[in-house]
A and B are shown apart, each in its own frame.
Chain A
Amino acid sequence: MRKKGWLIGTIAGLSLLGVVGCSSSETPQDVNQHPGQGAGSSGNEAAEPYEISLMFHYDVEPPKNNSEVAKIIEDYTNTKLDLQSVPSSTRAEKFNVTVASDNLPTAVKAFYETPVVNAIKNGLFWEIGPYLDDYPNLSSINPLVYDNLKVDGKIYGIPSVRDLARNTIVYRKDWLDKLGLSEPKTVDDFYDMLHAFATQDPDGNGQDDTYGLIENDSLFNMDLITAYFGAPNQWGVENGQLVPSFTTDAYLEALQFYRQLYDEGLINQDFPITSRDLWFNIWNSGKAGAMRQITGNGLLRQQDAQKVDPEAEVGMVSLLEGPRGTMIYSERGSNGFFLISKSAVETEEELKRVLTFFDQLMDKEMADLFNWGIEGRTYTIEDEKARYVEGDAYTKLIQPYNQIAVGDYVNNSTPGALHPLHQRGVEMNVENEQAAVANPALTLDSPTNNEKGAQLTKIIEDARIKFILGDIDEAGWADAIKNWKRNGGQDIMEEFTAAYEQNQS
C-alpha cells in the first residue's frame, strides 16, 4: 500500500515536471534578437514593429508583457516590447550580472552609481549626446538634468526627469491652528512649532504622547536641517578646494540643534532603530507633528493621518531662514536614466530607431498615459483638465509601467485639476529651485571614493547619530572626521578637487 502511494506520487511529480519542461521550451532562449529590418526612420508606416527589450525596476507590482498598457505603448511607437522587470531591492545585483554576462537588453534603466559609471566608462553603452539635436522631445529636456548625469563630460543617459528641489517638511496644520501658531518662517519658528507639538498636547487626549518631529534610522530629516544652517550640499568649495559638508561649522551647528531636539524629547527617542515602515506607522497613528517628505506626497500624508484622526490637515514648508540665509539642497533632477547597450543595438541606424522610440515616449499622448492613464478608466477630463478617478485604478493599471517614462512626463501631459495640496507642492518646487544649492561633486570622479566611499560614509553616519544621542561630544565628532580623513577621506578630497579644477578649466 505504502509503496504504491510512493510510486503514484513519483509519477504525478514527473508528469508535472513534464509541464515545467513544456512551458520552458516555448520561450525563445535568446531574448535579445536584433532584427535588421524595421530599423531606421520611424515615419515608415509599413515598417514591421521594432523589437525593443527594456530592463527596469519596479516597487510593488511588476509590469506585464502583452498587457493592455504595453499594447498601447507598442501601437503608438510601432514596437514589440519585451519588459524585463527587476525588484528594486535587487536592482544592483541584477545590473552587475547582466553587464558581466553581456546579456544586456536594448536599454536598461540605471542610476548614477559606481558600477554603472564604470560600465559606461568601459564603453558598453552608446554616447547619445551628438544625436540629441535630431529629436525634438529629447533635446527639450533641461540641460542641467543632462549635465548632472554626464560621465567624463559626455551624455549617455535618457533621464526620467523630476523636480530638482522637492524636499519639504510636512506638518500637522490642524495642530498648528489649534495651538494658535502660524507657519514657521525661520529655524527658530520651526523649533517653537516642534516644541509646541511635543509638549502642548495637540491631539488633546490629555497624554504626553506626541512628537514634534519624527526621524528614522537613515537620519532622513538631516539634509533639510543642515541646509537651514547653511552647510553645503554634500560637498562645498572653499578656496578652490572641495570639502565635505560635514567638516563645516554650519554642519556642526545643525547637529547641535538636532541634539537639542532629541534631548528635549521632541523627536522619537528610538529613531536609530526606526525603519521606514515604523516611521510611517508613527505618522499614521496620529502621534507625529512633522516629517520630511517630498512636496508631491503631502496629500498622501494627509490622507494617511485622516484614517485615525478625520480632522487631520497637512501643511508643507520647505524654506526656512537660518543663520546663513535661506537655502535648500537640489538633487540630480532625475529618477534614473535609460542606457542603450551597444551589444543589443549594434549599428548607428538601430540606435536612431531606439532614440526615436524614446523620443516618442515623451509625446503628449504617452505622457498622458504615464501621468494620467487611460481616459474614462483612470482619469476623466473636465474643463480641459484631467482628474483621477476615485480609488486605486491608476495605481493598479499604470503605476507598474511608470518607470518606462522618460523626460518630464508630468509637465508634458494634460494639465490636471489638482488638489490644493498638490497644487501647492508644484508651486513650492518652483520656489525651492530659486533657493537651491547644487552639489559640486555630483559628477566628479574619485577612485578612492569609488573604492571606499560607502564604508567611509558609515563612519560619519554613525558618528552623527551618536552625537545626537549624546554618546559622543564635539571632540568625538572631530575624531570621527579625523578618522574619515585618515582612512581615505583626505584622498577623496584631493581627487575631487583635482577633478573639479579640470572641469572648471
Chain B
Amino acid sequence: MARRSFGEKGFDVINIGLLGLVAILMVFPFLYIIALSFSDEKTIAEGGLILFPKGWSLEAYRYIFSTDTLVRSLYNSILITIGGTIVNLAMTSLMAYPLAKTHLLGRRGLLMLVIFTILFSGGLIPTFLVVKWTGLLDSLWSVIIPTSISAFYLIILKNFFQQIPEGLEESAKIDGANDMVILLRIVLPLSLPAMATFALFYAVNHWNMYFHAIMYINDNSKWPIQVLLRQIVILSQSAVGDSSSISDETVLPPQSIKMAVIVFATVPIMLVYPFLQKHFAKGVLLGSVKG
C-alpha cells in the first residue's frame, strides 16, 4: 500500500464515521421489528420504542408455525423467486446483448419500443385478459412469464454490455464463434457483477410481489408469502386498502404476530445478498480474464 498523506487519512476517518452513522440509522428500525416480535403483548401495550425484547415471548413464532399456511407460502415464494429470476436473467441478457450492438439495424426502433412500455401500460384489466388468454391463470407461471423482462433493467444491462471492450469479442469472432456463443462464453462471465446485481433486483421484485398473485391465482395454496404478510400488515390501516370491507368484528392480530410475520417473510430474501456480495468486488473479474 502506498504511503498516504495526512489529508487522506482524515478523509478515511470521516468516511468511516459517516458510513457507520448511516449504518446505525438504517439498522435500528429492523431491530425494533425484531424486538417487538419477541415481546409479549403486555409490554407492547405499554408502548414506547423497544430495541431489545422485553417480556420475552416466542408466542408470535409459535403462531406462525401453528398452521402450515405461512410455511407453505414461503415455499411458494422461494419457487417463484428462483424460477422467476432465472427466466428474467435469461430473457433480459438475451435481449440486451443484441441491443448493445450499435451497428444493429433497427436497434433504435426497438429501444423506443421498449422504453415506450415504461411510460404506457394497458392497465390492470387488459393485462389480466392477456394473462388469461395465454392460459397462465391459477399457475405460478402467471407471476413469472408476464414480468419476464423489466424494460428498465434491460436498458441498464444493455448499457453495461456496451462498456465491455470490443476487442475481446472480435477475437472470438475471428475464431468463428457466433453471437450466442460469444454472449455465453465471453460477455456473461465478464458481466458477473452486473448479472449478480440484476439477479438481486429481480429476485427482490419477485419476493415482494403480491398484487399479481392475488389477481391471477385463485387457489390460495399457491400464494406467495407476501400476499399474507401484506394483508396482515394493512388490515389495521384505515388509510390504505379497502377498509369498508374490514368489518368491526375483525379481530386484529396482535402487534407481535404482525412483526413476527414481517421477520419471517423478510429474512430469507435478506440472506440472498451476502451470497451475491462477493461478485460486487471491484474489477476482479475483468483482471482475471485478461490476465
* Chain A residues engaging chain B, CB cutoff 8 angstroms: 2-3, 10, 13-14, 16-17, 19-21, 23-25, 27, 29, 31, 55, 57-65, 82, 84-94, 96-97, 100-101, 103, 111, 113, 166, 216-218, 275-277, 280-281, 284-286, 293-294, 296-297, 300, 304, 307-308, 335-336, 395-396
**Cα–Cα, bound, A84→B230 (Å):** 18
Instruction: Report B-chain residues with C-beta under 8 Å of the C-beta of A286.
Output: 45
Contact of B221 among A16, A64, A86 (CB under 8 A): A64
> Do A294 and B47 have beta carbons less than 8 Å apart?
no
Instruction: Report A-chain residues with C-beta under 8 Å of the C-beta of B222.
Output: 23
> Do A27 and B125 have beta carbons less than 8 Å apart?
no
> Do A285 and B46 have beta carbons less than 8 Å apart?
yes
> Do A59 and B239 have beta carbons less than 8 Å apart?
no
B15 CB within 8 Å of chain A: no
5 residue pairs A–B, Cβ–Cβ below 8 Å: A19-B79, A89-B246, A100-B128, A308-B42, A308-B45
Chain B proximity of A91: nearest CB distance (Å): 5
Contacts A89-B240, A111-B245, A395-B251 supplied; 9 other A-B pairs, CB < 8 Å: A17-B87, A20-B79, A23-B140, A86-B214, A88-B241, A101-B129, A277-B252, A284-B41, A307-B42
**Cα–Cα, bound, A99→B182 (Å):** 49
Instruction: Report A-chain residues with C-beta under 8 Å of the C-beta of B128.
Output: 97, 100-101
> Do B124 and A97 have beta carbons less than 8 Å apart?
yes
Contact of A90 among B42, B214, B218, B247 (CB under 8 A): B214
Main secondary structure of the interface of B (DSSP, over half): helix
**Cα–Cα, bound, A13→B81 (Å):** 10
The chain A residue sitting closest to B252, CB to CB, is: A280
> Do A275 and B237 have beta carbons less than 8 Å apart?
yes
> Do A20 and B141 have beta carbons less than 8 Å apart?
yes
**Cα–Cα, bound, A18→B61 (Å):** 32
* Chain B residues engaging chain A, CB cutoff 8 angstroms: 41-42, 44-47, 66-67, 69, 79-80, 82-83, 85-87, 124-125, 128-129, 132, 135, 137-141, 144, 189, 192, 211, 214-215, 218-223, 227-228, 230-232, 234-253, 255
> Do A307 and B45 have beta carbons less than 8 Å apart?
yes
Instruction: Report A-chain residues with C-beta under 8 Å of the C-beta of B245.
Output: 57, 88, 91-92, 111, 336
Instruction: Report B-chain residues with C-beta under 8 Å of the C-beta of A97.
Output: 124-125, 128, 215
**Cα–Cα, bound, A61→B139 (Å):** 21
> Do B237 and A24 have beta carbons less than 8 Å apart?
no
Instruction: Report B-chain residues with C-beta under 8 Å of the C-beta of A82.
Output: 218
> Do B139 and A27 have beta carbons less than 8 Å apart?
yes
Chain B proximity of A211: nearest CB distance (Å): 14
**Cα–Cα, bound, A216→B192 (Å):** 51
Chain A proximity of B72: nearest CB distance (Å): 10
Chain B proximity of A219: nearest CB distance (Å): 10
Instruction: Report A-chain residues with C-beta under 8 Å of the C-beta of B242.
Output: 88-92
The chain B residue sitting closest to A60, CB to CB, is: B253
Task: Decide yes or no: A14 and B138 within 8 Å by CB, A94-B215, A218-B243 being known contacts.
Answer: no
**Cα–Cα, bound, A65→B251 (Å):** 23
Instruction: Report B-chain residues with C-beta under 8 Å of the C-beta of A93.
Output: 124, 211, 214-215
**Cα–Cα, bound, A199→B6 (Å):** 63
Chain A proximity of B275: nearest CB distance (Å): 10
**Cα–Cα, bound, A276→B47 (Å):** 15
> Do B45 and A84 have beta carbons less than 8 Å apart?
no
**Cα–Cα, bound, A13→B79 (Å):** 9
> Do A59 and B235 have beta carbons less than 8 Å apart?
yes
Task: Decide yes or no: A275 and B219 within 8 Å by CB, A29-B137, A297-B249, A396-B66 being known contacts.
Answer: no
> Do B82 and A17 have beta carbons less than 8 Å apart?
yes
Instruction: Report B-chain residues with C-beta under 8 Å of the C-beta of A27.
Output: 138-139, 219
Chain A proximity of B62: nearest CB distance (Å): 11
> Do A17 and B69 have beta carbons less than 8 Å apart?
no
Q: Report which residue of B69, B139, B239, B253 has the largest number of chain A beta carbons within 10 angstroms of its beta carbon.
A: B139
Task: Decide yes or no: A96 and B125 within 8 Å by CB, A65-B219, A284-B45 being known contacts.
Answer: yes
> Do B137 and A396 have beta carbons less than 8 Å apart?
no
**Cα–Cα, bound, A294→B223 (Å):** 33
The chain A residue sitting closest to B279, CB to CB, is: A2
> Do A13 and B69 have beta carbons less than 8 Å apart?
no
The chain A residue sitting closest to B246, CB to CB, is: A88
Chain A proximity of B122: nearest CB distance (Å): 12
Instruction: Report B-chain residues with C-beta under 8 Å of the C-beta of A113.
Output: 244
Instruction: Report B-chain residues with C-beta under 8 Å of the C-beta of A307.
Output: 41-42, 45
**Cα–Cα, bound, A19→B135 (Å):** 18
Instruction: Report B-chain residues with C-beta under 8 Å of the C-beta of A13.
Output: 82-83, 85-86
> Do A84 and B218 have beta carbons less than 8 Å apart?
yes
When A and B form their complex, which 5 residue pairs have the shortest distance between CB atoms, in order from nearest? A24-B139, A89-B241, A277-B236, A87-B231, A284-B45
**Cα–Cα, bound, A14→B132 (Å):** 25
> Do B227 and A275 have beta carbons less than 8 Å apart?
no
Instruction: Report B-chain residues with C-beta under 8 Å of the C-beta of A285.
Output: 45-47
**Cα–Cα, bound, A422→B47 (Å):** 29
